[in-house]
Structure 1
Amino acid sequence: MKLTVVGGGSTYTPELVDGFARLHGTLPIEELVLVDPAEERLERVGGLARRIFARQGHGGRIVTTTDLDRGVGGADAVLLQLRVGGQAAREQDETWPLECGCVGQETTGAGGLAKALRTVPVVLDIAERVRRANPGAWIIDFTNPVGIVTRALLRAGHRAVGLCNVAIGLQRKFAAHLGVTPSDVHLDHVGLNHLTWETGVRLGGPTGADVLAKLLAGHGDSIAADLRLPRPLLDRLGVVPSPYLRYYYAHDAVVGELRTKPSRAAEVAAMERRLLDMYADPALDEKPALLAERGGAYYSEAAVDLAAGLLGGSGSPYQVVNAYNAGTLPFLPDDAVIEVQATVGPTGVTPLPVPPVDPLFAGLMANVTAYEDLALDAALRGGRDRVFRALLAHPLIGQYAYADTLTDRLIAHNREHLTWA
């Protein structure tokens, strides 16, 4: 089995490699290819990756290359984890929206749209090259904004599934609170990428007993603290929202906080410099503890499970993925990309049935789905008016004066990545 990681020079990659090494029985990789245009960075990451495999007795071969076509040739699955423009572009995504009093964040609002406009054309080019190299290969997208990028891939006819680590992170936390193993916890997870709610927490599978009320009663304070939302809100909602719902439920408070501290991009850039120095140490043969602060917790386990399921291995039977709605949520278009539990196998993913969704959540999903449709149109066809329409539709913006100003700033800060600008 050959698996290729595009964006393999990311400081995330040792987390992924550690999972591949530990879970070799689930996903028996014979060749792992790390592709990245940043050669020096790639070699540091690749060297540590080889040492991690050796330490854990993994017999697979790790190849590094800056040649995308060589890297994806013959791959059974290609995992995308790239960041167009790097942390410098992320820094901009997180700062210029604040000038208009809007959240600055790389996956939602104006910053999220900027990232989508930079990313979608690049990902579609990569996917076409994967298809030419091996039409049967699966593409697993971890590149944000996952919902929009996955929708672009599916619309173009690629064998693609989107992946996010929010659900697996919550599953692990809930299992610890309940004193059970993570595999015992099945989430009734519904929504769009970075716009999800846990409407049930079941023990033993999708038909198991729902212990969400018990979980909130016994551990609501801890869960609320993790989400940085007030406990009474969780009690009134009766569900556990994604951490990203804070940008919606406490928008103005978040803007105030973001204006008074360094951006997350600046923090991550500093952390990456430290990590890359560590990766250069030939004595290091395991992922460093600092990597846990980088983000992406449990990403490797989610990726292993998904790839194993798609390639006929022994992945978990039910997994949270980003896939076509196809009637699962009747209030959304069939070609909307939703994030829900699904069965996973070599023929693809099939969302599990979802009970009727509270209008409080369904309304926001419908609004953001409309924005994502307009965002994808802007990413595919360009043009100032398409950018403006997407921003005007976004529930975190919604005022024409803000949308006009943000459109101009988005284009100005991203001109080098927009062929039409």
Structure 2
Amino acid sequence: MEYSGTQVKDINIAYIGGGSKGWAWALMGDLAMEGDLSGTVKLYDLNFEAAHVNSLIGNSLNNLAGAEGKWRYQAVETLEKALTGADFVIISILPGTFKEMASDVNLPQEYGIYHSVGDTTGPGGVVRALRTIPMYVEMAEAIKAYCPGAWVINYTNPMTLCTRTLTEIFPQIKAIGSCHEISGTQRLLAAMLKDLKGIGDADYRDISINVLGINHFTWIDAASYQGTDLMPVYREFADRYYETGFEEKPGQWMNSHFSSAYRVQFDLFRRYGIIAAAGDRHLAEFMPLGWYLKDPETVKSWKFSLTPIESRMQKQEELTIRSKRLAAGEESLQLKHSGEEGIRMIKALLGLGDFVTNVNVPNEGQIKGLPLGSVVETNALLIRDNVKPVLAGQLPVDVENLVARHIRNQETVLKAALLKDHSLAFRALLNDPLVSIGIGAAEQLFDRMLQNTKAYLPGWQV
């Protein structure tokens, strides 16, 4: 890398999952609009053609008005080529295919277990993790071999176990997990200020929060805006909209599988007294099945959706068609900020301004009461070549018990995956709050799910 004033040139970024139609395009756009950075992005993907198409799209951005950051995109055939000489590694992959994801989500429904997402917890989350962990073992070993000093930013779910695998296999790795769920809650708080206080110009980034928990099951126990304590305001907000839900655009949750009316979030606040800081679709999966996911009618009453895999598949087909138009120059990506914080993280780690944001890193004591070494989510200060977790304190004991159960289960899944231990993995599934069926039925479900994902379980006796 070459430093020149406030600019850094010749940065080398390895993008694992470089054929992505969503995250990759967002990164390309953000890099193009950042004039302080320039360099090379090597795109690695099991689907080389998809990575090649993205290289054409990325290189075309240099010709657009407003593209201040100049980057060269190169598709590469091997992980070694991508990682060699990398300063940063970005990981955004789909572990398996939509076929396996469909099994994760749809098969449990035959046993009365419903997933609203299926990528972090529940039977779907457990099995997704089992096939993802071997991929991350390979990546951790490759990073250790080819770019041990690089910073690694992970976007893939299950976020906690992906990041935890990296730190387990390569303890010295400089890895962080990044998720936008927290900023979604900050945006809700900004909407709250507009609705209750008439403050229409509150920028969500100016709302200070204390974050503690694990990915997709994070909590906020302190929030403020310009010196005003927002916790009492949120209580009023939750009470006012508990029954009806809150939407800036009425009916939006019915028109989008990814939206909600925040009723789950409000319910958890009324139960525990602190803000559950993730989307309703994720939060619901961490709680007992009967609370929010008993059946589709219950889900509808809480005003969120079960996200069908078919909709994801349809969107992917549409994006694949669009990618070909973009690569052929028949259409151009519009340069607009994605709202993701990856570029600000990179700038801070390069020494171009300190930055505080939520990250997923091993617990060094930033959350008291939760197991040390487990990956937790809190705020952290990012400075030149360093990430310093912010001391977040301790969760209320009842919430701590909920979070700790999931942490210990995640650690069990990790151990089972590394040992290829069918029995241990099954016990982890049994211990998940969504699994309220009999042991025999659970065993049958688990075996069927493993059969459907066995291509990604090397060395397992399935």
TM-score by length of 2: 0.81
Give 2:233's aligned amino acid.
Answer: K
Q: In the TM superposition, what whole-angstrom CA distance separates every residue of 1:317-360 from its partner, at most 9, and x where no partner exists?
A: x1100011112223221111101111123443222122331123
Letter in 1 for 2:220: E
Closer, same or farther: CA 271–199 of 1 in aligned 2, 3 Å: same
Distance 1:150 1:230 in 2: 26
Q: Which amino acid aligns with 1:240?
A: I
What is the letter of the counterpart of residue 310 of structure 2? A
User: What is aligned with 1:267?
Assistant: 311
The 5 Å alignment of 1:129-278 reads: 129-156=142-169, 157=171, 158-178=173-193, 179-203=201-225, 209-218=228-237, 221=241, 223=246, 225-229=260-264, 231=266, 234-241=269-276, 242-243=278-279, 244-249=282-287, 251-252=289-290, 253-257=292-296, 264-278=308-322
How far the C-alpha of 1:413 sits from its partner, in A, is 1.3
Shift of 1:116: 1.0
- 1:2 corresponds to which residue? 12
* Counterpart residue type for residue 144 of structure 1: N
Q: Unaligned regions of 5+ residues in structure 1, if any?
A: none
Pick from 40, 46, 49 the counterpart of residue 31 of structure 1: 40
Change (3 A) 1:231 1:368: closer
8 Å contact from structure 1 (residues 52, 286) kept in 2:
yes
Following superposition, the deviation at residue 375 of structure 1 comes to 0.5
Residues 147 and 162 of structure 1 are in contact (CA less than 8 Å); yes or no, is this contact kept in structure 2? yes
1:314 corresponds, among 319, 343, 353, to 353
Q: 1:6 to 1:351 in 2, by over 3 A?
A: same
Conservation of the 8 A alpha-carbon contact between 2:136 and 2:162: yes
Give me the whole-angstrom Cα distance separating, in 2, the residues matched to 1:62 and 1:11: 15
**Cα deviations by residue, 1:262-293 (Å, 9 ceiling, x for unpaired):** 8532111111111121122213222599xx9x
Aligned ranges for residues 27-176 of structure 1 at < 5 Å?
A: 28-55=37-64, 56-57=66-67, 58-104=69-115, 105-156=118-169, 157=171, 158-176=173-191
- CA 1:160 to 1:38, structure 2 compared with 1: closer, same or farther past 3 Å? same
**Letter of the aligned partner of 1:286 in structure 2?**
L
Identity %: 25
Q: Does the CA-based 8 Å contact 1:384-1:407 persist in structure 2?
A: no
Partners of 1:61 and 1:6 in 2: how far apart?
Answer: 16
Give, in angstroms, the shift of residue 59 of structure 1.
Answer: 1.7
Does 1 or 2 have the higher relative contact order (CA < 8 Å, sep 6+)?
1
Whole-Å separation in 2 of the counterparts to 1:33 and 1:42? 9
Any idea what SS the aligned residue of 2:123 has? helix
CA shift in 2, pair 1:361/1:250, >3 Å: same
- Shift in Å at residue 228 of structure 1? 4.5
Aligned residue in 1 for 2:412: 374
Amino acid at match of 1:4: A
* Residues 44, 172 of structure 1: alpha-carbon distance in 2 compared, 3 angstrom cutoff: farther
1:349, 1:394 → 2: CA distance?
A: 32
Q: Deviations over 1:393-419 (max 9, x none)?
A: 222226634542332123211111111
Question: Match of 1:305, as an amino acid?
Answer: R
Q: 1:356 aligns with which of 394, 416, 419?
A: 394
Structure 2: gaps spanning 5 or more residues: 1-10, 194-200, 248-259
SS in 1 for 2:376: strand
- Using the TM superposition, give the Cα deviation of residue 371 of structure 1 relative to its aligned residue in structure 2, in angstroms: 0.3
Q: SS at 2:211's partner residue?
A: strand
Compared CA separation, residues 210 and 355, structure 1 to 2 (3 A) = farther
> C-alpha distance in 1, partners of 2:50/2:216?
29
How many angstroms does 1:72 deviate by? 1.4
- Give distance in 1, aligned partners of 2:14 and 2:145: 15
Rg larger for: 2
Partners of 2:365 and 2:204 in 1: CA distance: 29
**Conserved? CA contact 2:33–2:335, under 8 Å:** no
Match of 2:370, SS state, is coil
Aligned ranges for residues 399-410 of structure 1 at < 5 Å? 400-410=439-449
Shift of 1:257: 2.2
Q: How many residues align?
A: 407
Tell me if structure 2 keeps the 8 A contact 1:131–1:137: no
**Structure 1 length-normalised TM:** 0.88
8 Å Cα contact 2:41-2:71 kept in structure 1? yes
Q: Which moved more, 1:149-158 or 1:240-249?
A: 240-249
Is the contact between residue 14 and residue 86 of structure 2 (CA under 8 Å) also seen in structure 1? yes
Tell whether the 8 Å contact from 2:350 to 2:385 is kept in structure 1 after alignment.
no
Q: Is the 8 A contact 2:354 2:381 kept in 1?
A: no
Q: Deviations over 1:38-59 (max 9, x none)?
A: 1332233332222334323232
The answer to whether the 8 A contact 2:416-2:425 is kept is: yes
Letter in 1 for 2:405: N
RMSD: 2.7
Indicate how the Cα distance of structure 1 residues 127 and 54 shifts in structure 2: closer, same or farther if over 3 A, else same. Answer: farther
Distance 1:34 1:287, change over 3 A: farther
Q: Is residue 387 of structure 2 the alignment partner of residue 343 of structure 1?
A: no
